[in-house]
């Protein structure tokens, strides 16, 4: 399933099972698209919970096709972490482009975003 959002942005569900959901983020995650990103991911998380109950433990986000990321995108990602972490869902940030990694490092939030959630059954968070 691909969700089309404002020009230059979309998310794709790559795989899903009861314990893990894999999403790819494509295009720009910035001021113009961050609200739609947050809404889309919330809808996907709600649909997953409706289907599987509270079994989700890992949300994998693939950033391979991310072309732009700004502070608004970072705020949306931090908001996602505020929702997932208390629910026992660990975020995994895969295939991060240099500009994305740089913003996470400069702001000091990399470890916060990928911290293992309580109740998550994985070893430490994966940040590949």
pLDDT at 18: 96
The answer as to whether 122 is a domain residue is no
The answer as to whether 12 is a domain residue is yes
The answer as to whether 56 is a domain residue is yes
The answer as to whether 124 is a domain residue is no
- More confident call, 122 vs 25: 25
Burial class (CB in 10 A: 0-12, 13-18, 19+), 22: middle
The answer as to whether 88 is a domain residue is yes
Containing domain of residue 106, as a range? 2-114
Domain count, the chain: 1
The pLDDT confidence band at residue 115, using thresholds 50, 70 and 90, is: very high
Q: Flag whether pLDDT at 88 surpasses 60.
A: yes
Q: Flag whether pLDDT at 75 surpasses 80.
A: yes
What's the mean per-residue pLDDT of the chain?
A: 89
Q: Flag whether pLDDT at 78 surpasses 50.
A: yes
**3-class DSSP assignment, residue 103:** helix
Q: Flag whether pLDDT at 127 surpasses 80.
A: no
The answer as to whether 32 is a domain residue is yes
Q: Flag whether pLDDT at 118 surpasses 90.
A: no
Residue 100's CB is within 10 A of a number of other CB atoms, namely: 21
Closest CA to 80 of 42, 48, 47: 42
Q: Flag whether pLDDT at 122 surpasses 70.
A: no
Between the CA atoms of 49, 27, 107 and 93, what dihedral angle is there, to the nearest 10 degrees?
Answer: 50
CATH assignment at residue 81:
3.30.750.24
pLDDT at 3: 55
* Cα 105 from Cα 121, distance rounded (Å): 26
Q: How far is CA 116 from the centre of its chain?
A: 14
Of all residues in the chain, what percent carry a pLDDT higher than 90? 84
The answer as to whether 19 is a domain residue is yes
The answer as to whether 17 is a domain residue is yes
């Amino acid at each position: 399933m691909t969700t089309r959002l404002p020009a230059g942005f979309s998310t794709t569900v790559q795989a899903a099972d009861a314990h893990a959901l894999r999403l790819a983020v494509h295009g720009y995650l910035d001021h113009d698209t961050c609200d739609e990103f947050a809404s889309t991911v919330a809808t996907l998380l709600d649909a997953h919970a409706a289907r599987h109950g509270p079994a989700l433990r890992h949300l994998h986000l693939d950033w391979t096709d991310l072309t732009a990321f700004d502070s608004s995108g970072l705020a949306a990602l931090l908001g996602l972490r505020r929702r997932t972490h208390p629910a026992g869902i660990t975020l995994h940030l895969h295939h991060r482009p240099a500009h994305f990694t740089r913003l996470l490092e400069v702001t000091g939030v990399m470890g916060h975003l990928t911290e293992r959630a309580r109740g998550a059954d994985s070893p430490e968070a994966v940040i590949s």
